[in-house]
Amino acid sequence: MVDGVTWTLEGGVYELTLARPPCNEIGTATLAGLEQFLDAIAVDDAHALIIRSAVRGGFCAGADLRELHAGLVATPEAEAAPQLAAFLDRIHAVMDRLDTLPLTTIAVIHGVCFGGGLELALTADVRIAEKTARFGFPELRLGVIPGFGGVPRMRRELGDALPRDLLLTGRTINAKRAHGVGLVSQCVPTGEGLVAARALAAQIGKFDPVARVAAKRFLKVIPVEELAREKRLFLELAVRPPLRAALDRFVRSQDVRPYLP
């Protein structure tokens, strides 16, 4: 297993635990861990998957901006786009595989769930948020759009209004608001997210497996064309100077709220 991405299987329920400090930023290591998990799991032995974080800061703070910055600094500009495209292809493949697993998938969210972290959470069938969770797409402050499939998936789940609000304002919202608009299915007290997810996974285990998988396939279709458009637009924006400049500011920032524009 990759350090920081571990999993268990007990009673037909996989628990995938992200534990990479500071807040499960998604770079090459976390991506490799997710790929290993997806290659290793035996879906016939399970009915549910719980995705959770074991770090205090939250579910996931998004893409690993420090790694992205280091990569862009070390790469000639002409090679940046193909390298980013290859990384995006791997990320999208992982997100699509998580999205379509023949298991009922539950994300347990506490604390920060920003950018790529929210995009990861949006692959889940059900999201359970602890009340101090916070959600947002801060990508515009970097001069890009979310690139891991988040906007098409949020539009699929919720329609246009919330993704437009979060992306175009860069603001973040709390768990109560996320529950109110249907972004999360359950809002529970702090520390109770995993308890609620395990109870839900146990309930899902009582359902007929053929009907369970068929229902998910019926209700959850990957927005293929929109994801491809998102990837193209992300890459067009990511090779422009504002991303490098914003990443420079981010890695040098000592601000307690570096995600603010």
Q: Which residues bind other proteins (CB under 8 A)?
A: 22-23, 56-58, 61, 111-112, 131-134, 136, 169-177, 255-261
Our CB check for other proteins shows the closer of 47 and 52 to be 52
Question: Of 116 and 152, which CB lies nearer to other proteins in the complex structure?
Answer: 116
Nearer to other proteins, 234 or 259 (CB): 259
The residue (of 61 and 98) whose beta carbon lies closer to other proteins is: 61
Q: CB of 258: closest distance to other proteins in angstroms?
A: 6
Shortest CB 171 distance to other proteins, Å = 4
List C-alpha distances in Å: 217 to 22, 41, 102, 156: 35, 19, 8, 14
Q: How far is the CB of 140 from other proteins (least distance, A)?
A: 11
Instruction: Give whichever of 56 and 229 is closer to other proteins, judged by the CB atom.
Output: 56
Query: CB of 107: closest distance to other proteins in angstroms?
Result: 17
Give the DSSP letter string of the chain. Answer: --TTEEEEEETTEEEEEE--TTT--BSHHHHHHHHHHHHH--GGG-SEEEEEE-STTEEE--B-HHHHHHHHHHS-HHHHHHHHHHHHHHHHHHHHHHHT-SSEEEEEE-BEEETHHHHHHTTSSEEEEETT-EEE--GGGGTS---SSHHHHHHHHH-SHHHHHHHHH--EEEHHHHHHTTSSSEEE-TT-HHHHHHHHHHHHTTS-HHHHHHHHHHH----HHHHHHHHHHHHHHHTSHHHHHHHHHHHH---S-TT--
Judged by beta carbon, residue 24 or residue 105, the one nearer other proteins is: 24
Q: Shortest distance, CB of residue 133 to other proteins, whole angstroms?
A: 7
C-alpha to C-alpha distance for 225 and 65, rounded to whole angstroms: 27
CB of 207 to other proteins, least distance (A): 33
